[in-house]
Structure 1
């Protein structure tokens, strides 16, 4: 299996996105005790040790230690039977993880009406129902601990709220401005990716949704934009492909594909221009040299990251592996935590296209 593949098991009790460091392995050894499990968990929590062990195991794959051949024939036959049982277990694990993905797709259909209505309210295509507003206000009060306020404070807040509504001319306000920019900025993992320049472009983001792939296991994140001064695409996409481990049956990340952004002239947010003055040695005249250099940007998300060969241990390859791991983690985080709109069946999911 590709060394860049990352386990996407979602059964972890932790609230963080699955990574090689925090994703538990479902297949527990039969007869293990709690102290052994604790020691194993502690070792697996060490990324360097985990990578070292995985590398050693990869090198041993298919190799014979010669030990089994020294055992009595009757014992070898029993071990062969155990190998068969393990293969049947792996088959069941593969079905188990496929069914998890199928359940995600099933519930995507159930989520769709809710997300469609949410999109219409955010975009201003329709107004929220009065019953939904009242039910939501009750939930907000409960979450904010509003019941702890005394009656006088409640009356004062209600009075101020009603006055604000009466004094404000809100008839021209449609939808919820910059909703998705705010949602992305409120998540710690995406917040650190958004620069001040990015925020201007992300104000034009009108929807973020997920399409499950029909061609194979995986999903695509779709970012829908209205017309803006930065790029001509109206949809930017990032696609994550799963592959099923032949040894454990688990779904792991295989690779991802980004999207070419059609930047308008001098509006590329992933590049910045460095200006330097250069003095001529003989004439002593100065000239200004401008050079485009890569810049930090949320929109680097849509750049393809090359997958290095397993045998490549160069510094560039290690950097690429770190970027791939962060990319896979971000994709899973967006899918699970940002509460994106979902589409269960997309034989032809949205493509990165121009306005």
Structure 2
């Protein structure tokens, strides 16, 4: 079974009111704020009526839940009750929809080809960015001036701008002879200012990610999909010998219900850890005593731990013929797959194209404004619901929350060696 995650599907994101641009500070976001499909939870003020009844009676809640689960996907019987000549027309509409789906698939493939075309136009800009970040080149006066003008256009608080006084241009500024080259910890900071990725990065991971030189995206040539590449400074990396770590995302041939491309699976790579430096595992030591001889022995075992680098061992969808009886485990796997695909999508469409905005925190500011608009609309809806409840005291509509965890992995490919 493949996980059908539609690319165009975005969810509301909650972000911090102030951007963070320091790599040592945790990004001010939680896993609940991930840009992934979610379902709203029941508010405290709504826990009355039917909701309160179910909350106070777990047995009744279980019965209702089981009953509802049996109704999902079942026909109401209306279509089956229609005359045959009406049913025939409905089947004809389905045939028209088949042709529509073919056009949709062709449309999405053309969009993908257009994205590939413009990816080549972006490439020299990303190369220029990498040169500046890594200290291989300094920005020109023209580039600095263009950046400063962009900042002026983005100013939202005129009073704050006036109080700050006139800004001094950095276009002609010169770095001291002994200044550090490039922009230290550029990619670590950018990644930590993204909601879902910041939750994956541990303090130990930061030591390795400080040597991250570049993050790149290329479209696959033989199949529909894209590949992410994390390039590291091998001369300073004490954790693994790979010069780059890769992960590829593959699309299915057909499009989803809404006309978007659908993810099929992801493939990571094997990380060649240096001895004692594996960030994804730890060694537990335990002493055992023989009951007969009273001798003791020390047993060591390797256990997995949370780490950003688990990203390169993605969760594996169950096979088509695999029967998964544990529904809870299957739901957990689906959540992990959605999270994994969403991170890859955000890297491709957000972080890589707008890396400097994630480094400075500007990206968080824009996302915060979007979240504020969504929250404002939600408050209006809540007021309307309260007015309706005053007029008529009826049962509340129940909701559930969607969670996510990380585990399980694909068989990795080999990463690049120096």
TM-score (normalised: structure 2): 0.63
Between the aligned partners of 1:262 and 1:172, the Cα distance in structure 2 is 33
* Aligned counterparts, 1:1-355, within 5 A: 2=1, 4-9=3-8, 19=36, 21=38, 56=73, 71-72=83-84, 74-143=85-154, 148-149=159-160, 153-154=164-165, 158=168, 169-227=176-234, 228-245=237-254, 248=257, 250-281=260-291, 287-309=297-319, 311-314=323-326, 315-340=328-353, 352-355=415-418
- By how many angstroms is 1:332 displaced? 1.0
Aligned to 1:269, what secondary structure does the other structure show? coil
- By how many angstroms is 1:204 displaced? 1.1
Between the aligned partners of 1:325 and 1:144, the Cα distance in structure 2 is 36
Between the aligned partners of 1:121 and 1:196, the Cα distance in structure 2 is 26
Distance change in 2, residues 1:339/1:284 (3 Å): same
The residue aligned with 2:398 is none
TM-score (normalised: structure 1): 0.73
- By how many angstroms is 1:174 displaced? 1.3
- By how many angstroms is 1:305 displaced? 2.2
Whether the aligned pair in 2 keeps the contact of 1:208 and 1:340 (CA below 8 Å) is no
Distance change in 2, residues 1:127/1:54 (3 Å): farther
Between the aligned partners of 2:178 and 2:71, the Cα distance in structure 1 is 62
- By how many angstroms is 1:328 displaced? 1.0
Between the aligned partners of 1:148 and 1:6, the Cα distance in structure 2 is 45
Between the aligned partners of 2:109 and 2:250, the Cα distance in structure 1 is 14
- By how many angstroms is 1:272 displaced? 1.0
Between the aligned partners of 1:104 and 1:53, the Cα distance in structure 2 is 43
Between the aligned partners of 1:231 and 1:282, the Cα distance in structure 2 is 44
After superposition, the C-alpha distances for 1:136-174 in whole angstroms (9 at most, x for unaligned) are 12333554558535778526x759x99xx79x8454421
After superposition, the C-alpha distances for 1:68-124 in whole angstroms (9 at most, x for unaligned) are 69734x445433432321112111211222222222212212212211111111111
Aligned to 1:231, what secondary structure does the other structure show? coil
Q: Greater relative contact order: 1 or 2 (C-alpha under 8 angstroms, separation 6 or more)?
A: 2
Distance change in 2, residues 1:289/1:13 (3 Å): closer
> Over aligned residues, Cα RMSD in angstroms?
3.8
Between the aligned partners of 2:268 and 2:350, the Cα distance in structure 1 is 21
- By how many angstroms is 1:244 displaced? 3.2
After superposition, the C-alpha distances for 1:195-227 in whole angstroms (9 at most, x for unaligned) are 011000011110001010111211110111111
Q: Which moved more, 1:288-297 or 1:250-259?
A: 288-297
